[in-house]
Amino acid sequence: MQLRGSTALITGASRRIGRAIAERLADAGCNVALHCRHADEHAHACRDACAARGVRAVTLEASLLDPDAVAALPGLVVAEFGRLDILINNAATFEPMSLADFSLDRWQRDLAVNLTAPMILAHASAAALRSAGGRVINLCDAAAERPFPGYLSYCTSKAALESLTRSLALALAPEVCVVGVAPGVALWPDPMDSATKERLLSRIPLGRSGEPSDIAELIHFLLERGDYITGQILRVDGGRALR
């Protein structure tokens, strides 16, 4: 796939892994539509950083809890850029929920953002992606197979997203490739204590946590060179799954 001149819609693009992906694609000449929940200083900084690389970059504000707003995003991208080649479902909620703390409202919210929004976006993007011979990249998580204790809704939603990735690969073939990228430890979540960090690092054969650039580089490869890869979940975990 030729990235220069293509257009990507990236959800949750203003910070962390989302921003790293956006800037890496901009480096390759890909125009970017940067979804954010609120167009704050982080969103504007990401937009400006991408535009400084010589591509077109816009921010699109929408709540992923609003199905109508989610469904409208691909049309906004096509109206702005005239095309949509790449959908990257990166946005996610990540908050603790133990069995004792179960809340139906929070459960439904987490699944709405982490699972339902990617489904709605894939449906709304399908015609444009098929026309472009495009790509869908879903940001999954190693926790889909090795759940984090006390994160019931998050881990469940990511496991379901892996299944959705495989189903979409069949539904959108042969025109569109759909791949899941599953980071292990890549940027520590804010509430994680140092003892937990050390315990997790001790189980990673490569001896370090991942960086956003590790994920962004794999996605760049999949987009530019992954013409015969679809329906796969690729781990970026430093070998954590081996232990």
Catalytic residue of the set 110, 154, 212, 218: 154
Mean pLDDT throughout 183-203? 81
Mean pLDDT throughout 105-121? 98
Structure confidence at residue 235 (pLDDT): 96
- Point out the least confidently predicted range of 19-33, 149-163, 192-206: 192-206
Q: 84 near 34, Cβ under 8 Å?
A: no
Beta bridge partners of residue 233, listed in sequence order: 180
Per-residue model confidence as pLDDT tens digits over 48-99 = 999 999 999 999 999 999 999 999 999 999 999 999 999 999 999 999 999 9
Does 154 participate in catalysis according to the annotation?
A: yes
Tell me the domain boundaries of the chain. Answer: 7-234
Q: Which residues of 26-58 are buried (b: 16+ CB within 10 A; e: fewer)?
A: bebebbbbbbbbeeeebbeebbeebeebebebb
Please check the confidence at residue 29 and state whether its pLDDT lies above 90: yes
Please check the confidence at residue 190 and state whether its pLDDT lies above 90: no
**What would the DSSP string read from start to end of the chain?**
---TT-EEEETT-SSHHHHHHHHHHHHTT-EEEEEESS--HHHHHHHHHHHTTTS-EEEEE--TT-HHHHHHHHHHHHHHHS---EEEE-------B-STT--HHHHHHHHIIIIIHHHHHHHHHHHHHHHHT-EEEEE--GGGTSPPTTBHHHHHHHHHHHHHHHHHHHHHTTT-EEEEEEESSBS--TT--HHHHHHHHTT-TTSS-B-HHHHHHHHHHHHHH-TT--S-EEEESTTGGG-
Please check the confidence at residue 14 and state whether its pLDDT lies above 80: yes
Percent of the chain with pLDDT over 90: 87
Mean pLDDT throughout 30-39? 96
Structure confidence at residue 189 (pLDDT): 67
Structure confidence at residue 100 (pLDDT): 96
CATH number for the segment(s) 7-234: 3.40.50.720
Mean pLDDT throughout 166-173? 99
